[in-house]
Amino acid sequence: MDEIKIFAPATIANISCGFDVLGCCLDTLGDEMIVRKSSVKGVRITKIIGEDLPLDTEKNVAGVAALALLKNIKEEYGFEIEIYKNIKPGSGVGSSAASAAGVVFAINELLNKPFTKLELVEFAREGERLACGSPIADNVAPAIFGGFTLVKSTNPLQIVELPSFKGLYATIIHPQIEIKTEDSRSILPRKIDLSLAVKQSANLGSLIHALHTNDYFLFSESLTDYIVEPHRSKLIPDFDKVKSNALKAGALGCGISGSGPSIFTFSKNIQTAYNVQGAINKVYEKNGIAHHTYVTKINIEGVKVL
Ligand code: ADP
């Protein structure tokens, strides 16, 4: 095989009580990429459709992630990359992670899979280092493993694969505003109250138990963030109203995706996910805030061959 076309999924990171550790993979929202072997050594990005992003290998997360992988093989040939972008950069649903995860998955397939998924996450997070200054793994891990993942440790990298509910859907609302990553980081407190840390860790533990025991009620009860959301939600217009409308429409939970501005909600089935979409659309339609919404099931496969 000399060429492969893949789907590179969007992901939700910072799932409520799982700040910086818990993420999940989405299904219908994502980019497409074509990666092909070339007789010319090195990595070239030959086409980007949909967004204005750098073609320069060293400035594009896909190029950087591919180079990180290539350092670990005896290079006999090079690779060309085409990126068909659907995930808007800076939207909070892992735009850079999709490109980084997608390219390393594709090259691994073209090489007959010499690398494990964990190794692919290692390469992909070098792309994240370019996008945000540190080699975070909480978007690239679910993009590569699929389903829900927990970043147990970043050094050494340890990823825990978690089960997902059958039929779980996410509704995403992306208000068309820009939040600078530095602003969403700088708004966070440096120190937190011990009682909040206790509540947060209890929720993370019970959320993971809920995934293992298929307990929707406990999952819903655990999707509360006492530490980050109270601060970051101030940067997102009408966050509280969107959340209360989503919960009233039957969502199991609602929170900020990544560092925003996208908001995620989870629902037990597709019909509820669409009801939630209608309910949250109303908030921004009333206030005239431009936005996009998406309904997608949870993708348990991760990046996939098309
Ligand atoms: P999101 O908030 O949606 O997760 P990120 O903040 O992860 O988006 O990534 C956006 C940043 O990464 C932007 O500065 C963008 O220019 C840069 N970038 C470089 N290459 C890519 C790529 N292939 N796809 C998306 N963003 C990229």
Alpha helices in the chain (DSSP H): 61-70, 95-110, 117-132, 140-145, 181-186, 194-213, 216-222, 229-232, 239-248, 270-287
Statement to judge: residues 154 and 25 lie in one domain: yes
For residue 141, give the CATH number of its domain. 3.30.230.10
When pLDDT is averaged across residues 11-40 and rounded to a whole number, the result is: 97
Statement to judge: residues 94 and 175 lie in one domain: no
What's the pLDDT at 178?
Answer: 84
Statement to judge: residues 119 and 196 lie in one domain: no
- Count of C-beta atoms within a 10 Å radius of residue 205: 12
When pLDDT is averaged across residues 286-295 and rounded to a whole number, the result is: 94
Per DSSP bridges, beta strands 291-297 and 157-162 are unpaired
Q: Which residues contact 85 (CB under 8 A, 6 or more apart)?
A: 31, 48, 49, 50, 51, 53, 95, 99
Strand order from edge to edge, sheet including 263-267: 253-256, 263-267, 169-175, 291-297
Statement to judge: residues 186 and 145 lie in one domain: no
Statement to judge: residues 210 and 139 lie in one domain: no
When pLDDT is averaged across residues 243-264 and rounded to a whole number, the result is: 97
75 pLDDT above the threshold of 80: no
Statement to judge: residues 61 and 102 lie in one domain: yes
Residues with CB under 6 A from ligand 1: 53, 60-62, 83, 89-97, 99, 131-132, 258
Percentage of the chain beyond pLDDT 90 is 93
Active site residue 296: no
Statement to judge: residues 154 and 174 lie in one domain: no
Q: Taking a C-beta distance cutoff of 8 angstroms, is the pair 62, 83 a contact? A: yes
DSSP code, position 88: P
d(CA 298, CA 219): 15
Average pLDDT over the chain reads 96
Statement to judge: residues 187 and 225 lie in one domain: yes
Tens digit of each residue's pLDDT (9 = 90 or more) over 89-129 = 999 999 999 999 999 999 999 999 999 999 999 999 999 99
What's the pLDDT at 1?
Answer: 83
Tens digit of each residue's pLDDT (9 = 90 or more) over 180-233 = 777 888 999 999 999 999 999 999 999 999 999 999 999 999 999 999 999 999
What's the pLDDT at 76?
Answer: 81
Statement to judge: residues 281 and 141 lie in one domain: no
Residue 107: exposure state from Cβ atoms within 10 A (0-12, 13-18, ≥19): buried
What's the pLDDT at 74?
Answer: 86
Range of the domain at 90: 3-162+301-305
Model-level pTM? 0.96
> Which one is catalytic: 128, 265, 272, 296?
128
Statement to judge: residues 124 and 143 lie in one domain: yes
What's the pLDDT at 125?
Answer: 97
Statement to judge: residues 135 and 29 lie in one domain: yes
CA 91–ligand 1 middle distance (angstroms): 9
For residue 220, give the CATH number of its domain. 3.30.70.890
What's the pLDDT at 180?
Answer: 78
Active site residue 181: yes
Query: In angstroms, how far is CA 257 from the centroid of its own chain?
Result: 8
Q: Hey, what's the torsion of the CAs at 217, 220, 226, 231, to 10 degrees?
A: -170
